[in-house]
Amino acid sequence: MNAGAVSRRTLLAGSAAAAAGLGVAGCSSSDSGGSAPKAKERKPGQKITLTFWAWVPGIDKAVDLWNSQNPDVQVKLEKVSPSGGAQYAKMHAALKAGNPPDVAQVEFQVIPDFLLDNGLVDLAKYGIAKDKDKFVDWQWQQGVFGSSVYAVPQASGPMGLFYRKDLFDKWGIAVPTTWDEYAAAAKKVRKADPKAYISTFPPANGGWFTGLAWQAGAKWFDTHGDTWTIDIDNAETRKVAEYWEGLIKQGLVSTEPDQQDSWFADVQHGRIVAWPSAQWGDAILSGNAEPTKGKWRAAPIPVWDKAKPISANWGGSTTALLRGGNYITDALKFAVWLNTDPKSIDLLIAGGYGWPAAKGAFAGSALDKPSPFFGGQKYNTVFAASDKLIDKSWKWIPTIQATYKHLGDEFTKAINDKTSFATAIANVQKATVADMKAKGLKVA
Amino acid sequence: MSRSSRSSRAAIGFLAPFGVLFALFFVAPIGYAVYQSLFTVERSGPLGLGGAHTVFAGLSNYSRALADAQFTASLGRVLLFGVVQVPVMIIGATLLALLLESASARGIRFFRTAFFLPYGVPGVVASILWGFLYVPGISPIVSLAHGAGWQVDFLSSGTVLWSIANIATWQFTGYNMLVLIAQLKSVPGDLYEAATIDGANAWQVVWHIKLPMLRPALVLTTVFTIIGTLQLFSEPLVLKPLTGNINGSYTPNLNAYTEAFQNNNYNLAAAEAVLLALVACVLSFGFLKIVGRREKP
């Protein structure tokens, strides 16, 4: 509130400050479509510098390695903040202003959003096809639209279950392998320690819930001809939503936000004893719950059907070339090297970038080692198996950020007002269709 | 050269720095926001991926904003916030100012600085600090209350708005107090002398001299607070990750920010910003008109 000195200076200034702030930032070009501007290419022997926007911790070391090996093609890394989608706001603004970085980190789920602004270079035109076999197929497919390829996959987030082995042993709880067993384990945790919960249902974490719906076999988004189809309100999604609704109503899980101060405190003090999460959750646990070192283990994510185990994915990144950037041939070479060179991958793993998109990168890598935080367990074998059981056909829509917000709003409302999660899902469906139509897109 | 033309040239010279900056940083952006709010993006090609161009949309962004239940709810929320928080803060600031300016006040410098100090803390930092005091599991206040058997939750759907109001009040009461003290200091001493000779006690001095003399400063601080309330932004943005009860459309400013920078709907965001500015104008000038009318009996 009281935006401070600026708004206090004069009445007129004060009442207009909101408009002013947005006006400046809202500079849009009237033509974001049409043919791509001519990108500069490097002449033989010419020294160039590529600009690269990313936020993976430790990626600077991989960039340094590239720079030491490629004196003519230097890469200038600029770290961008991933907080609340700020990095994408910056990229979209740069695209509109016509001075984007040559290379950028772009997550799977926002690729369609960038395509809507015609913001990514079609790499198929620059011969990326030859590199296809270097990458895990489903991750590769995330960047494929029709005959075009818009991104070099970097890493994904196969899901597993992190749990406190010491407490599970003490309380005589077997590691749950199905979601039914997970509910039973949740009950036992409550009985063993009234202050503890097995985990939380983070109402505002749309990405996490999407991963679990994906696991249950939901296919939210697809395209038919020139039309998008939205199918969030389906039997699979409702099954997942109602499962967690049941746990909440019985008081078996908490509803605090995850990866926040209070959640970290609960994890440190044994009040949250498990976390269905992605592989990259390992760094979050070890970085924020140091006193619990050695007490954690990883297990496969609980499944719905033991006979047909399907795993889940939460998050994932690519390296993409933004339209309007230069030196595409060299930029593409860097993007492929960054995500396939074993030394680069090891440096990225050390930073905690997720699960490698490069095929066969796991064996012998820094991931393929026992971890002291997980009591000497070679815990990543769990995620190696998980990565192979992910449904490959999942697609995204251009308005996914808004859908995540709708999920958060509707789940929060349902929990506060004690209304049904099925209604919440139906509302998210309606709101998402409205978002797409408001963008001027055809929705079936 | 005539004298009048020389002096008018001097006037222009003195006004120019202000005029240029005002035009560049206030008039132009506002004009641009209004212009932006009248356009919309149209997409072509299969799946809308064939490119986009901007077309004139009249007032459709405004009707979309007003039809958006989340946006109108956010306006209602800050109005409710203002109805409670503005009087609380203004009364609080007035009380503090009168106490510090009363004849029997002690340690005036210390308390004046202490009351004003929170204003020196940037809004974002203040929100982070208070966030730590609100979050269960970390907050000593929450654990003390729980220890005493009192189940408080500062971040529940019913309380979080008032937790934000608390931050705002903590931060700005001292600032408003200082404005009021400055006004009190300008009250001519002979008024007090006359009152003492007439046998007025301290209460009567407050009621018949200090408060009437404070009136212009009270009007000023109230208008600033009304505007500040409507622009509520950084506190909910910082507290948002701590609770699902604050979302990206909690206040009108936050809603416009979300539309612009998360959903890439710049034109809709511009319309929302213009609407918010209009509401702020109506409320501020409406308030000034009401107090102005009372002034002429």
B33-60 average pLDDT score: 84
B277-294 average pLDDT score: 87
How far does the CA of residue A322 sit from the closest CA of chain B (Å)?
A: 15
B224-240 average pLDDT score: 92
Q: What is the pLDDT of residue B297?
A: 45
**Across the interface, do B135 and A7 touch by the CB < 8 Å criterion?**
no
In percent, how much of chain B has pLDDT > 90? Answer: 60
Q: List CB contacts (< 8 A) between B40 and chain A.
A: 440
Indicate whether A403 belongs to any domain: yes
Q: What is the pLDDT of residue A61?
A: 94
B185-190 average pLDDT score: 88
Indicate whether A263 belongs to any domain: yes
Q: What is the number of other CB atoms lying within 10 angstroms of the CB of residue A83?
A: 9
Query: Which fold does the domain B67-295 belong to in CATH?
Result: MetI-like fold (1.10.3720)
Q: What is the pLDDT of residue A198?
A: 97
**Across the interface, do B262 and A266 touch by the CB < 8 Å criterion?**
no
Q: What is the pLDDT of residue A81?
A: 87
**Across the interface, do B49 and A116 touch by the CB < 8 Å criterion?**
yes
Residue A193 structural domain:
159-313+393-438
- Between strands A144-145 and A355-356, the pairing is unpaired
In whole angstroms, give the CA distance from residue B66 to residue B162.
26
In percent, how much of chain A has pLDDT > 70? Answer: 91
**Across the interface, do B52 and A89 touch by the CB < 8 Å criterion?**
no
Indicate whether A367 belongs to any domain: no
CA angle centred on A176, ends A385 and A376, rounded to 5°: 60
Contact indicator for B30, A19 with CB cutoff of 8 Å:
yes
Q: What is the pLDDT of residue A360?
A: 83
Indicate whether A307 belongs to any domain: yes
B68-94 average pLDDT score: 94
Burial class (CB in 10 A: 0-12, 13-18, 19+), A403: buried
Indicate whether A348 belongs to any domain: no
Pick from A194-203, A313-322, B105-114: least confident: B105-114
Q: What is the pLDDT of residue A11?
A: 33
DSSP-assigned letters across all residues of A269-326: TTSB-EEEEETTHHHHHHHH-GGGTTSEEEEEPPBS-TTS--B-EEEEEEEEEBTT-S
**Across the interface, do B227 and A7 touch by the CB < 8 Å criterion?**
yes
How far does the CA of residue A339 sit from the closest CA of chain B (Å)?
A: 27
Residue of A nearest to B122 (CA): A4
Q: Residue B294's pLDDT band (boundaries 50, 70, 90)?
A: low
> How many structural domains are present in chain A?
1
Res A4 pLDDT > 70: no
For chain A, the average pLDDT equals: 88
A:B CB pairs within 8 Å: 228
Res A111 pLDDT > 90: yes
**Across the interface, do A11 and B227 touch by the CB < 8 Å criterion?**
yes
pLDDT tens sequence across A112-163: 999 988 899 999 999 999 999 999 988 999 999 888 999 999 999 999 999 9
Q: CA-CA distances (angstroms) from residue A411 to A85, A183, B295?
A: 21, 19, 51
Q: Where are the domains of chain B?
A: 67-295
Pick from A337-346, A362-371, B93-102, B172-181: least confident: A362-371
Q: List CB contacts (< 8 A) between A113 and chain B.
A: 264
pLDDT tens sequence across A6-38: 333 333 333 333 333 333 333 333 333 344 556
In whole angstroms, give the CA distance from residue B294 to residue A23.
37
pLDDT tens sequence across A330-367: 999 999 999 999 999 999 988 888 899 998 888 888 88
CATH of the domain at A182: 3.40.190.10
Indicate whether A15 belongs to any domain: no
In percent, how much of chain A has pLDDT > 90? Answer: 70
pLDDT tens sequence across A260-294: 888 999 999 999 999 999 999 998 899 889 899 99
**Across the interface, do A416 and B26 touch by the CB < 8 Å criterion?**
no
Indicate whether A376 belongs to any domain: no
Indicate whether A13 belongs to any domain: no
Residue of A nearest to B45 (CA): A226
Q: What is the ipTM of this complex?
A: 0.82
In whole angstroms, give the CA distance from residue A183 to residue A193.
16
